[in-house]
Chains A and B, each alone.
Chain A
Amino acid sequence: MQDALPTTWFDGHSPQGLDVSVTLAHGQLLVQGEGVERTYALPSVRWPEKSRHGPRLCDLPDGSSLQHADPAQWDEWFERQGFCPSWVVATTLSWRAVMASVLGIAVIAVVAWRWGIPAASEWVTPQIPLPLQQRIGSQALEQIQGLWLKPTAIRSDEQARLRDRFEQMTPAAQTPKQGLHLQPPVPWRLHFYKAPALGANAFALPGGDMVLTDGMVELLRDQPDALMGVLAHELGHVEHHHGMQMVVKTSLLSALVGAVIGDAGSFLTAIPMLLATQGYSRDAEREADEAAALFLHRNHIHPRVMALVFERMRAQAKAKTQDSGTSVQDILPIGLASHPSDAQRIAFFLNWQP
């Protein structure tokens, strides 16, 4: 009865406050004022969080509430009653603990990005049934078709020759004994398209669709081995489920970024998303390059033929840049590159050892 706190009580129906005094006795909260005398069991009282500023609003179970304007006075009284802040509130109140939390968030984000998400997608992706992957792939292909792809101008006998040769080479590369390729091998389908906007290019989609542009076939017409290497690179993407993994990784990543800075709006989330996914696709390219090198080696072709691909593509890109004047690549050279640098990849193929 001694330690009473003079404060204001609102009954929940009238906006008119009432001066009361509050005491704690026998596990109960006593509110006493003019014409008011109420007791509340302690567990049913929702105590306010301690903070440096702001009033203290305390919810009582019958819908009424206590409001105290002087936070220091309330906190002193509260602590004199033997209460202490919960550990969450205690952490919030300590700058040292908050700084440790910032560090913790950074560590969690980096670990999740570098190891957590790749491991999760590695585990999730094979669980996704192949028909579903193929459906996703063919949907993507349909969308790209409308935008960038036109019917191919490559003669059908050349198409058949390339397809047959690649088909003959795959079994040799897919010997399971070295365990370097995922088993069982995924069925692949090779499509030819004319794509002026994409230049000399090749890409693989989830589910096993591979696209070769006319530009690429023309670029390497005199170097059939290198063209097989390009296809082997795409097959590497297919066998590693890179397309599907990218889908899974991007989803997980957007969930992570959303959790960290979700309330900051899409304007800000777009930038870290872009940077982080570029990191993943660099890893995927490296893996596909390794698969291509192994593929060529097992077909008794030295992977150094691939160096030519990069040199020719670079020469072509340079010629194009001079035509149009501006290139984003010149201004943002490394930071946003989705592929490892050409020099690195050339060196990889030149120095490749079985």
Chain B
Amino acid sequence: MQDQPLLATADQPVPRNQSRIRFTGSGSEFFRIWTVNLLLSLVTLTLYWPFARARRLTFFHNHTEVQGHALGFHGNPWKMFKGHLVLLVVGGAYAALSYLWPMYQWVGLALMALVWPALWRAALGFRMRNTSWRGVRFDFEGSLPQAYKAFLPLFLPGIALNLLPLWIQNEAESVKLLGQWTLAISGLFMLFFPWLLAKVYRFQHNGYRFAQERSALALETPMLYWLFLGIIVLFIVLGVILIGIGAFLVKGLAWNPKIVVPVLGALGYFLSFIVVYSLAVVKTQNWLWSHTASAHVRLHSDLSFWRFFGYSALNWLLTLVTLGLYWPFATVRMTRLRLEAITVQIDGDIGSWVSQVNPSSSGVLADASGDYFGLDMGL
């Protein structure tokens, strides 16, 4: 915890500090935290969840070392608890609505579209304001109108798809029309999806603040199109390889197709899931974080696809074999891999930075909603 490398005197050139993020958490330690958290959550019928979450986040934050200093997590579990209760009610109501009156699901979806961007923004803000480095809180400054601009287009196709059946009669001609419309909307959505995703990423990564530093994302939308194209090509290549192997085993070696087909099918499902997941995660992380920078901070991520893919496959297998007990070890291993791929470069004397962020925190709903909607920090 010494600051020597950063103390520059006036006549020296601007010091430049560059180092990899280090993750010091161990799997066995997280296993113990996870187990006790899980038991308490079950015994209390999930009421312990927010407290478990606070402990989990504290563990991961405190073991993330950026230039020799760990991140801090300051979320107040009692505040998170109130948010948890509210979301249990809201989530339950939405589930009941979509189950009992599926015709009105679009109402729920429309309401969700109205609330989601605000909640999402609040969640990210809560998380950032409760994360600190060197005692200084981060912040998120994306504005509310920007949040709506980024998220609303993502909801439109869903609402349209749910509204469609309402004005279509139950006869063969109309059903066919419905099918065509559904296909058209889905196709259009797929075409625009990378562009919409880029908008969300831009909103998120343009809003981070630490002291006077405000982050900016220089990500070009075509990059995401290339990623999507890559995933589709990967799917096709995997399929062709598996069909080739299957044909060779059945036709060439006369193996029993009753065994070959399901085994290869399961293998294909497992492989394509992990391959696609790995490619998406690795590329997104490398692009996002290598293109996020502020005036004095530069980041670079060089996560390796093959290592990530290998570890993912191993982790899934071990988690399955151990009936889930390996999961905490897998999580720690993946977190280390992803975090330690990132290099942080800071120009200048950080000691002179000053933060205006008030360390008091925001609303009750904010944090819980982040967990509920699967808030992803891109890390």
Contacts of B354 in A (CB 8 A): 13-14
Evaluate contact between B351 and A331: CB separation under 8 angstroms: no
How far apart are A181's CB and chain B's nearest CB, in angstroms? 27
Mark the stretch among A49-57, A182-190, A234-242, A336-344 that contacts chain B. A49-57
Contacts of A160 in B (CB 8 A): none
- One digit per residue, 1 when the CB lies within 8 angstroms of any chain A CB and 0 when it does not, for chain B 340-379 equals 0000000000111111101110000000000000000000
Mark the stretch among B13-21, B24-32, B191-199 that contacts chain A. B24-32
Evaluate contact between B29 and A51: CB separation under 8 angstroms: yes
Give complex CA distance A330, B259 in Å: 10
Known: A67-B70, A108-B42. A260 touches B136 (CB 8 A): no
Mark the stretch among B281-289, B302-310, B319-327 that contacts chain A. B319-327
Give complex CA distance A271, B321 in Å: 13
Evaluate contact between A55 and B40: CB separation under 8 angstroms: no
Judge if A268 is at the interface, Cβ distance under 8 Å: yes
Q: How many residues of A contact B (CB 8 A)?
A: 57
Which chain B residue has the least Cβ–Cβ distance from A51?
B29
Give complex CA distance A65, B70 in Å: 12
Judge if A159 is at the interface, Cβ distance under 8 Å: no
Known: A11-B135, A59-B74, A135-B100. A326 touches B257 (CB 8 A): yes
Evaluate contact between A105 and B42: CB separation under 8 angstroms: yes
Evaluate contact between A260 and B42: CB separation under 8 angstroms: yes
How far apart are B41's CB and chain A's nearest CB, in angstroms? 6
Contacts of A260 in B (CB 8 A): 38, 42, 324
Evaluate contact between A101 and B136: CB separation under 8 angstroms: no
Judge if B43 is at the interface, Cβ distance under 8 Å: yes
Contacts of B11 in A (CB 8 A): none
Contacts of A84 in B (CB 8 A): none
Judge if B82 is at the interface, Cβ distance under 8 Å: no
Residue in B29, B74, B316 whose beta carbon sits within 8 Å of that of A52 in the complex? B29
Contacts of B35 in A (CB 8 A): 98, 101-102, 105
Give complex CA distance A93, B35 in Å: 11
Known: A15-B351, A331-B259. A52 touches B36 (CB 8 A): no
Taking A13-B136, A49-B55 as given, write out 20 further A-B residue pairs in contact, using a Cβ cutoff of 8 Å, ordered by the A residue number.
A9-B135, A10-B134, A12-B137, A14-B351, A15-B350, A17-B3, A17-B135, A49-B58, A52-B26, A57-B72, A59-B72, A63-B358, A65-B132, A88-B36, A93-B32, A97-B36, A139-B102, A260-B42, A261-B324, A271-B320
Give the B-binding residues of A (Cβ under 8 A): 8-17, 46, 48-49, 51-55, 57, 59, 63-65, 67-69, 88, 91-93, 95, 97-98, 101-102, 104-105, 108-109, 132, 135-136, 139, 146, 259-261, 264, 267-268, 271, 325-328, 330-331
Chosen A-B contacts, 5 in total, with CB atoms closer than 8 Å, are A10-B136, A15-B134, A101-B39, A105-B39, A261-B324
